[in-house]
Amino acid sequence: MKVLLAIPFLAALAISGASAAEADACDLAVDPTSPDAMVAALMPKSQAQIEACAARGIRFSSMGADSPAPKAAPSEPNGFAALSLPILFPTGSAEIQPTALPIVDGLGKALANPALNPYRFRIEGHTDTVGDAASNLDLSRRRAQTVTRYLVTRFGLDAHRLEPVGFGSDRPAVPTPPETAQAKNRRVQVVNIGKAP
């Protein structure tokens, strides 16, 4: 089915003068353990890629997309990309679960790739709506710091390239009412924030 969907898009690219590489920028599905797929998702998008995706109805927003599935989130307006990863956490915990280690390891390999070396990344922690806002904000910061510390320690990444930030329950992947334990909201998102100084 993917081939059938790709044919009209490739035809549109040929008409608009865009390349097949620009088609790849619009494929939002990302294997959460594939470093190569993560590198492609986290690379800045050219204006031509953004326009080619817009022609397909894929819009890039400043908020990024918090998705419960591993997807390349729409990039920032300047073309920098975001990637929402299913690095899930138990309620009230900042401990990386063993089942999430292949995803974090894939991210570490992606961020160590020479193609991404010039860039800095915001590592965003998120929570579900269980608990008060202040506790969730603290917990989300600890989640972001845990992932960042793991990446720096295990992959030797420069800590200055990674900026851990917590958003608490303010940006849910799945909108839920207060006091709702939703595992998909307890996650990490990675955002390319531009070239390192």
pLDDT digits (tens, 9 = 90+) for 33-60: 789 989 988 988 776 766 676 666 554 4
The confidence score (pLDDT) of residue 101 equals 94
* Domain encompassing residue 52: 2-195
- φ and ψ at 167, to 5 degrees? -115, 5
Contact 193, 118 (CB under 8 A): no
**CATH code for position 6:** 3.30.1330.60
The confidence score (pLDDT) of residue 26 equals 59
The confidence score (pLDDT) of residue 132 equals 93
Q: 41 is written with which tokens?
A: 């998702």
| For range 52-79, the mean pLDDT | 45
Average pLDDT of the chain to the nearest whole number: 76
| For range 96-123, the mean pLDDT | 95
Entry pTM: 0.72
pLDDT digits (tens, 9 = 90+) for 150-165: 999 999 999 999 999 9
E strand spans, the chain? 71-73, 82-85, 119-125, 162-166, 188-195
Count: domains in the chain: 1
CB atoms within 10 A of CB 69: 12
pLDDT digits (tens, 9 = 90+) for 168-192: 999 998 899 999 998 888 889 999 9
Q: Residue 94 above 80 pLDDT?
A: yes
